[in-house]
Amino acid sequence: MLLISLSKVQKKLVDNIRERRLQMNLTQEGLAERSGVPLPTLRKFEQKGLISLDSFLKLLSVVGGLEEMVDVLKPKEQNFKSIDDVLKSEEKPIKKRGNKK
């Protein structure tokens, strides 16, 4: 269940990147040059929120937040309630693929 709509997340990401750019006193042209993201792509991102993952990561590498993004997306560790849970988890092979659906 989503607590926030995808469009709101998209807008927040755009606003946060723009704010970081401005805090660094960078113009769109300056950020585009430093990141290697074409200026029209950066403008489209700041106007409509549309960008490829590759370009988004390039922007994060300049304005900061790339490491935090990686950390936030790490799988959560299991919380065990008993020693039996620990033993059961050790018996299961680690999944390398999802199920077909």
42 pLDDT band, cuts 50/70/90, is very high
pLDDT tens string 61-95: 999 999 999 999 888 777 777 888 777 776 666 66
pLDDT value for 95: 64
Kindly give the residue spans of alpha helices, DSSP state H, lying in 24-82: 28-35, 39-48, 53-63, 66-72
Out of 22-26, 38-42, 95-99, pick the least confident. 95-99
Q: Residue 34: phi, psi to the nearest 5?
A: -70, -35
pLDDT value for 50: 95
As a whole number of angstroms, the distance between CA 64 and CA 54 comes to 15
pLDDT value for 60: 97
Q: Are 98 and 77 in contact (CB under 8 A)?
A: no
SS3 53: helix
Closest by CA to 21, choosing from 4, 40, 43, 48, is 43
pLDDT tens string 9-34: 999 999 999 999 999 999 999 999 99
Closest by CA to 46, choosing from 79, 71, 97, 35, is 35
